Amino acid sequence: MKYTRKMKRELKNAVNPLEELLIILKQYFPKFYDLLDNLTDNRNHSYITYDVKICIITKLLSLCSGIRSMNDLGRKFNTYETINNINNILNSNYIELPHKDTIINVIKELKFSDLEFIQTYMIKTLIRSKMLDKYRFNGLFHVVIDGTGLFSSKIDLGEHAITKVFNEGLDNEYKLYSYYALEAKLVCGNMTFSLATEFVLNETYTDKLGNTFRKFDKQDCELKAAYRLLGKIKKRFPKLPIIIGGDALYIGKPFLMLCDKFKFDYIIRYKEEPASSIKKNFETI
């Protein structure tokens, strides 16, 4: 049966994405709202009007509604209908949604480990439900590792941001600060789920004169983050049968030995130029 454009519009209008999301959360992740209550809140409790849970739910639902900017959240999302819906979800009685600055301040102070705990709970719930089993590769869950840039600015983003100098030694030299993370994605058909995240950091180096300095070397820093990421995956999912997928960066012996240690299978793409010995050994075998 071929759907016309009119039929597609009618089908789209027949589905309420927000309602479907709430049904999924209630059916598959019953502890989700309780976990939000346990998020660390370092604010002065004497001045708190909105708890962490409503701040997170407001931001989450605005993203699910296609609202990306915080300004649009305040202008387009702060309606009576939205306020009533969120009050029904949280069994609360707020008359206004939290201001965008309140939401930003709450999110900035969240502990990454708290969010990782929720992430692990949701992934484990999906795996235990068996609904992802049909996407296994030879009985293994396919996990792809790759780096991604999250944010960059010429403004100093703090000691944990990676730094790169452009046009070094020239009049237009400048330094760019950014956050770069290594993501482990669980691949399920045309869907992906974030299994674990490890931030890439500036590494400490010592030159020939004994001077110590910190800089970002993409290959070196990303590899070291990959070692930490594999350890994190093993710790959080110790019994999960996994096959790791990666590009030519991870074809080195330390990475592969670590996969063997954690009993991860792997498929690594490689180019012949930087890994010519592999081609030679393969042809010999």
Strand, coil or helix: what is 27?
helix
DSSP 77: I
**Helix spans in 65-149 (H):** 70-72, 80-90, 100-109, 112-128
Note the pLDDT of residue 249.
84
Helix, strand or coil for residue 200?
A: strand
Could you report the per-residue pLDDT of 76-110, keeping only the tens digit for each?
A: 888 888 888 888 888 889 999 999 999 988 988 88
Q: pLDDT by residue (tens digit) across 171-212? A: 888 888 888 889 999 999 999 999 999 988 776 666 666 666
Q: Which residues pair with 208 in a beta bridge?
A: none
Q: Is 54 exposed, middle or buried (0-12, 13-18, 19+ CB in 10 A)?
A: buried
What count of Cα atoms within 13 Å lies in the side-chain half-sphere of residue 106?
Answer: 24
Residues, the chain: 285
pLDDT for 27 = 84
Cα distance between residue 185 and residue 193, in whole Å: 5
Distances (CA, A) of 118 to 84, 105, 106: 26, 20, 17
pLDDT-derived band of residue 120, with 50, 70 and 90 as boundaries?
A: very high
Q: How far apart are CA 74 and CA 103, in angstroms?
A: 11
The closest of 151, 181, 56 to 107, measured between CA atoms, is 56
253 close to 178: Cβ distance less than 8 angstroms: no
The helix (H) or strand (E) run that includes residue 233 is helix 218-236
Least trusted range by pLDDT, from 105-114, 115-124, 135-144: 105-114
**Dihedral, CA atoms, 137, 138, 143, 146, nearest 10 degrees?**
-80
